[in-house]
């Protein structure tokens, strides 16, 4: 069962919240990918990150993603076709 603090209007599970946070930290994962998978727009992701992290971590994350071209699909270079680095996930 989810705690009220972690529950959003989207009724996300703890594992989904964890994955959203991970995707938000990833440089190459655009906010649009999070919206497509979980139904959270950029402002909802920002609110989730604010609630989920310490203030200093949130400030560091916001500084990191603000203006980052890879976090917005429309600002990406056309040659960027995937949301993650090809060596990011190890497959066995």
Q: What is the pLDDT along the chain (92 residues), one digit of tens a residue?
A: 344 443 446 788 999 999 999 999 988 888 888 999 999 999 999 999 999 999 999 999 999 888 776 665 665 556 655 555 555 555 54
CB atoms < 10 A from the CB of 49, how many?
18
Closest-CA residue to 20 (of 47, 38, 41)? 38
Report the C-alpha dihedral over residues 21, 13, 11, 59, rounded to 10 degrees: -20
Chain position carrying tokens 């429309």: 74
**Domain assignment of residue 86, yes or no:** no
**Domain assignment of residue 92, yes or no:** no
**Domain assignment of residue 33, yes or no:** yes
Beta strands in 1-92 (DSSP E): none
What is the span of the domain harbouring residue 56? 14-73
């Amino acid at each position: 069962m989810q705690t009220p603090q972690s529950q959003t209007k989207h009724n996300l599970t703890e594992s989904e919240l964890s994955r959203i946070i991970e995707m938000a930290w990833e440089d190459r994962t655009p906010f649009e990918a999070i919206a497509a998978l979980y139904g959270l727009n950029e402002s909802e992701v920002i609110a989730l990150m604010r609630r989920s992290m310490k203030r200093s971590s949130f400030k560091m994350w916001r500084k990191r993603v603000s203006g980052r071209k890879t976090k917005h699909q429309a600002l990406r270079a056309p040659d960027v076709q995937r949301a993650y680095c090809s060596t990011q996930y190890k497959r066995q």
